[in-house]
Amino acid sequence: MAQRPTDNIGKYLHNFPGGLKLRHHKALSCCKPLPARYLPLSTEYCIPVSQHLGQPAEVVVSVGQQVKKGQALSTPGKTGNAPGAFVHAPTSGEITAIEKRPVPHPSGLNSLCIVLQPDGKDRWVELEPVDDYRKLDCDELIQRVQAAGIVGLGGAVFPTDIKLQGTSCLINTLILNGVECEPYISCDETLMKQAPGKIIEGALILCHVFKIEKVIIAIEDPMDVCNLELEQSISEFNAGDCVEVIRVPMLYPEGGERQLIQVLSGHEVPAGQLPISLGILVQNVATVAAIRDAVIDGIPLIERLVTVTGAGIREPQNVHARIGTPIADLVDFCGGYTAGIARLVMGGPLMGLGLRNDQLPIIKASNCVLALTHADITSTQPEMPCINCGNCVSVCPAGLLPQTLQTVIRAENFEALESLNLDACIECGCCDYVCPSHIPLVDYFRYGKGEQRAQAKEKQESDIARLRFERREQRLEKQQAERLARHQRRKRALAGSSSKKDSVAAAIARAKARKQVLAANQPDTNSETGKGENS
């Protein structure tokens, strides 16, 4: 049998190009206390309807309605093929508003949110647990995952059901991504320590349904306690023959899907293709735990572990927060801000999103709330011209040429971006971090990607417009031709009848002529008699 890319996966570790060694700052928040505490009920939850890419979802509740914990509030829109996901009520209570509110999004625009006022009883809807997951087939599992509103919890928030749908039976290896490579964030590590069983069980469900032969749980080198917990749990589930924990060296951004695959298998996922092309499925550990909850207990995704950390927070820790909780409540729970707070970020320090205030809700993508102090951030530096030092090229984990990309985007030469593979940029920020000229490279790349996408959409729309225009022209031409044909037929018909008239006229003329001839032949008699008669 031919060698598959996954045959030797995990046997030796490989390298990906570039990457940065960063101070990880995880001890600040990790595992104080373990297990992580649950946030008390907030006074109001604001649940954004679109927490993912694509079309906004369809709201299925109305203002004033009483909902129970776990009840679906919106369904993925029916329109189009864009991915969408269900969102659910984080607790029981009343829907007080469905309106546009500020959400954590780089645009700073408001987006449709469902506002829920808890009644304090926290009553669940009727849950539908599965007693034996071995009876589930592929479609049932995907349907359950969809109904539970599960999305990738590593940060990409791509709907998991859609990722699984493309998977079917083509994969033989599942990689559980526990490599939380961005500094400060420790929610996955906390999860692996406090509930390793959930992760293993979730992995076994996926293994069973998709006939996966091998599971690799990838964790970072310093997470040694995790290793023990996971091993113990693996032996509890008797899964030692197919599940393996592998420690990978600490290097940012090793937690990127493609980078992790490259480290474990030595193979690069071809540009423009998905890991499936190598027979690999990568899932974040928290996503797999959520799949387990959805399948075994029937619980939808209504809460997640969030790391609240940074020197700007008094008691950094991980907390279980419901989706829709205001960030301010998390901060209060963790003792509030310290005096030097300068910046609030959702996500990590490299890829995170700066927030304007703390009244925004926690969404499914919020893995971390990071409060930085003045000491942590370098003040903004002026942007200098690129000196072609090549630092950015040597750290880019995707093997791109950031300085070339940057020049091309600055010149707005978006057509050239395709050949430079901008799509492969994972926006990790490594190039930005090392650039001695302080060029905001990632900002340029995001702009370039946005323009590329907008232009592709415009192209698509103009193609449709051209088609419609051509069809209309054809139709008009056809109608014109038909009209002409009709006219001609009628004219011919008219011409036909007029020739009849002519023949009639001719006949009359002929008759007249004959008469005249006759009259000429006997002029005298006729005229005389006539005259005589007349007189």
Q: From the CB of 440, what's the least distance to another protein, in Å?
A: 5
**Minimum Å distance from CB 436 to ligand SF4?**
6
Q: CB 414 → ligand SF4: shortest distance, Å? A: 16
For residues 344 and 227, give the distance between their C-alpha atoms in angstroms, rounded to a whole number: 32
**Which one of ligand SF4, another protein, none is in contact with 453 (Cβ closer than 5 to 8 A by kind)?**
another protein
- Torsion over CA: 24, 13, 287, 36 (sign): negative
Write down the least CB distance from residue 399 to ligand SF4, Å: 8
Residue 217 touches which member of another protein, ligand SF4, none, C-beta under 5-8 Å by kind? none
Q: Give the angle 428-433-439 at the CA atoms, nearest 5°.
A: 105
DSSP assignments along 5-16, one per residue: TTTTTTTS----
- Residue 392 contacts which entry, ligand SF4, another protein, none (Cβ below 5-8 A, type-dependent): ligand SF4
**Residue 341 interacting with ligand SF4 (CB under 6 A):** no
Binder to ligand SF4 among 143, 388, 480, 529 (CB under 6 A)? 388
Looking at beta carbons only, is 174 or 398 nearer to ligand SF4? 398
Q: Beginning with the edge strand found earlier in the chain, give each strand of the sheet holding 303-309 in spatial order.
A: 37-38, 317-322, 303-309, 368-373, 341-346, 353-354
Closest separation in Å from C-beta 403 to ligand SF4: 4
Using the contact rule CB under 6 A, the part of the chain among 34-42, 155-163, 428-436, 456-464 near ligand SF4 is 428-436
DSSP string, 392-459: HHHH-TT---HHHHHHHHHTT-GGGGTTTTGGG-----HHHHH-TT---HHHHHHHHHHHHHHHHHHH
Q: Any residues with CB less than 8 A from the CB of 124 and at least 6 apart, and which?
A: 68, 69, 70, 92
- Residue 403 within binding range of ligand SF4, rule CB under 6 A: yes
CA distance 39 to 362: 12
Q: Where are the alpha helices (DSSP H) in 522-534?
A: 523-534
To another protein, the closest distance from the beta carbon of 452 in angstroms equals 9
Burial string for 175-205 (b: 16+ CB within 10 Å, else e) reads bbbbbbbbbbbbbbbbbbbbbbbbbbbbbbb
H-type helices in 58-173, by residue range?
A: 138-147, 160-165
Q: Which of 175, 322, 441, 448 binds ligand SF4 (CB under 6 A)?
A: 441
Residue 522's binding partner among another protein, ligand SF4, none (Cβ under 5 to 8 angstroms by kind) is none
User: Of these partners, another protein, ligand SF4, none, which one is at the site of residue 152 (CB under 5 to 8 Å by kind)?
Assistant: none
Interaction between residue 381 and ligand SF4 (CB under 6 A): no
Structure tokens at 306: 């969030």
Do 203 and 46 contact (CB within 8 A), yes or no?
no
Among the residue ranges 80-88, 145-153, 384-392, 491-499, the one whose residues contact ligand SF4 (CB under 6 A): 384-392
User: Nearest distance from residue 153's CB to ligand SF4, in Å?
Assistant: 22
Establish if 31 lies at the interface with ligand SF4 (CB under 6 A): no
Q: CB nearer to another protein: give 43 or 379.
A: 379
Q: Does 406 engage in binding with ligand SF4 (CB under 6 A)?
A: yes
State the nearest-atom distance from the C-beta of 405 to ligand SF4, in Å.
7
Residues 400-408: contacts with CB under 8 Å, at least 24 apart: 400/424, 400/425, 402/431, 402/441, 402/445, 405/441, 405/444, 405/445, 405/448, 406/439, 406/441, 406/444, 406/445, 408/448
Token pair recorded at residue 152: 């990738």
Closest distance of CB 139 from ligand SF4, Å: 36
Choose the contact partner of 396 out of ligand SF4, another protein, none; CB within 5 to 8 A by kind. Answer: ligand SF4
- Minimum distance from CB of 460 to ligand SF4 (Å)? 16
47: β partners? 114
190 binding ligand SF4? (CB under 6 A): no
Is 288 a binding residue for ligand SF4 by CB under 6 A? The answer is no
| Residues contacting 114, CB < 8 A, separation 6+ | 46, 47, 49, 59, 61, 73, 74, 87, 95, 97, 98
Taking CB under 6 A as the criterion, the residue among 151, 203, 245, 386 binding ligand SF4 is 386
Binding region for another protein (CB under 8 A):
50, 54-56, 103, 105-107, 109, 111, 342-343, 374, 377, 379-383, 412, 440, 443-444, 446-447, 449-451, 453-454, 458, 461-466, 468-469, 471-473
Q: What does the binding site for ligand SF4 look like in residue numbers (CB under 6 A)?
A: 386-392, 395-398, 400, 402-403, 406, 425-431, 434-437, 439, 441-442, 445
